[in-house]
Amino acid sequence: MGEFRGVDFYRLDDLLSEEEMMVRDTVRTFADERIIPIIDRHFEEATFPMGLIPEMAGLGLFGANLPEEYGCAGMNDVAYGLVMQELERGDSAIRSFASVQGALVMYPIYTFGTEEQKRRWLPALAAGEKVGCFGLTEPNHGSDPGSMETHAVKRGDCWVLNGAKSWITNGTIADVAVVWAKTADGIRGFLVEKGTRGFSAPEIKHKMSLRASVTSQLVFEDCEIPGENLLPGTGGLKSALMCLNQARYGIAWGALGAAMACYHSAVDYTGARHQFDRPIAAFQLVQEKLVYMLTEITKGQLLALHLGRLKDAGKLRFVQTSMAKMNNVSIALETARKARQLLGANGISLEFPVVRHMCNLESVITYEGTHDIHTLIVGEAITGIPAFC
């Protein structure tokens, strides 16, 4: 396959600042040189490429849109989105790692934590010296996290946690977990450190999607944590949803990266593969699929870019993020499926990135709010009627 040429049918690069393009191009090179050459092996062996953590940290990719005073890069949100796009062009597992570390661990510590918690954790997480995870989903409660069973009870100066979380990205390799639990005052967020008695994080095996990502259960059995591990600014499910909105923003961009990788493969492959004495790109039904891909990626880019501009201007509404997550992941998955067909039998081989992206996107369309839940969030914004409960 040829070198990735970018996808910019509508000259959207003209709308990016020099700094935004520099960030994008730096991460594009990182994906080409450091992620793509090794990711198939990790996908096949179901391992996370731990060696990439210090390299990503060195590029300032963890909590990249958080302030420099805590060791972060202080990028704007458009540059942050472009980082997510390029990481996911490498693999959704790498983008997921960065999303969790930044949007779901560093963001809540930054937003809801004490100054002491911020000073202790944010520079170490930004430097990749520590890894974090975010525990909201439970075995019996996914789309409806407000019904969670995990609870925390105050005992003297400590909190005692009981319950279980499931499908937690980075769980087994995390040094610190942001855990959401019910208390007498409603849902609160807590920091639970690796090695705390009563806390374990077994890995979930046999995944057919996001295989290069570590996914785990978190189990709390009379797990006692110090009182100061409460994130004091958290109050109710809304705090957890604020974190998810940060991560969904990154997914709206990231999914485009996966779609671009599939589109690029499909263009190259159909131009080179001959059947009936012609390149298969010459057939109308093949071109129709390529046109779908480019059109939907371009529409998705426009959504993501304007979403980013709204976020940078402090005008972003969460339903706008829902629309972009819903749309961009959906078109990315459809693009991957069409690309897989265009590659014929080769489409199921890890020799090409398409089937890996296709399998990964089956997780991306489910996590951080399923496609249907985001549809219903937008539906409520239109009608004023919540149809999900």
Ligand X SMILES: Cc1cc2nc3c(=O)[nH]c(=O)nc-3n(C[C@H](O)[C@H](O)[C@H](O)COP(=O)(O)OP(=O)(O)OC[C@H]3O[C@@H](n4cnc5c(N)ncnc54)[C@H](O)[C@@H]3O)c2cc1C
Q: Which residues bind ligand X (CB under 6 A)?
A: 100, 134-137, 142-143, 167-169, 210, 215, 363, 366-368, 370, 372-373, 376, 388
- Minimum CB–partner distance for residue 346 and ligand X (Å): 26
Residue with tokens 């458009």: 78
- Minimum CB–partner distance for residue 261 and ligand X (Å): 19
**Residue number with CB closer to ligand X (142 or 198):** 142
- Minimum CB–partner distance for residue 282 and ligand X (Å): 39
DSSP characters over 261-302? HHHHHHHHHHHH-EETTEEGGGSHHHHHHHHHHHHHHHHHHH
Query: Residue 151, SS3?
Result: strand
Which CB contacts under 8 angstroms, 24+ apart, belong to 202-205? 202/172, 203/171, 203/172, 204/166, 204/167, 205/46
**Residue number with CB closer to ligand X (136 or 262):** 136
Question: Which residue has the CB atom at the shortest distance from ligand X?
Answer: 142
Catalytic residue status for 368: yes
- Minimum CB–partner distance for residue 289 and ligand X (Å): 26
Side-chain half-sphere exposure of 4, counting CA atoms within 13 A: 23
Q: What are phi and psi of 144, to 5 degrees?
A: -120, 70
Q: Where are the beta strands (DSSP E) in 142-197?
A: 151-155, 158-169, 176-183, 186-193
Residue with tokens 């179901």: 46
Contact 126, 70 (CB under 8 A): yes
**Residue number with CB closer to ligand X (100 or 332):** 100
Tell me which of 20, 86, 138, 368 is the catalytic residue. Answer: 368
- Minimum CB–partner distance for residue 274 and ligand X (Å): 38
Count the helices and strands in the chain (H runs, E runs). Answer: 12, 9
In whole angstroms, give the CA distance from residue 109 to residue 225: 17
In whole angstroms, give the CA distance from residue 379 to residue 206: 35
Cα separation values, 271 from 157, 262, 279, Å: 67, 14, 6
Of the candidates 2, 4, 79, 42, which has an alpha carbon nearest to the alpha carbon of residue 259?
4
In whole angstroms, give the CA distance from residue 222 to residue 151: 10
Contact 341, 347 (CB under 8 A): yes
**Residue number with CB closer to ligand X (239 or 301):** 239
**Residue number with CB closer to ligand X (298 or 366):** 366
**Residue number with CB closer to ligand X (210 or 305):** 210
Of the candidates 329, 187, 177, 309, which has an alpha carbon nearest to the alpha carbon of residue 248?
329
**Residue number with CB closer to ligand X (164 or 310):** 164
- Minimum CB–partner distance for residue 145 and ligand X (Å): 7
In whole angstroms, give the CA distance from residue 207 to residue 210: 7
- Minimum CB–partner distance for residue 135 and ligand X (Å): 6
Catalytic residue list = 368
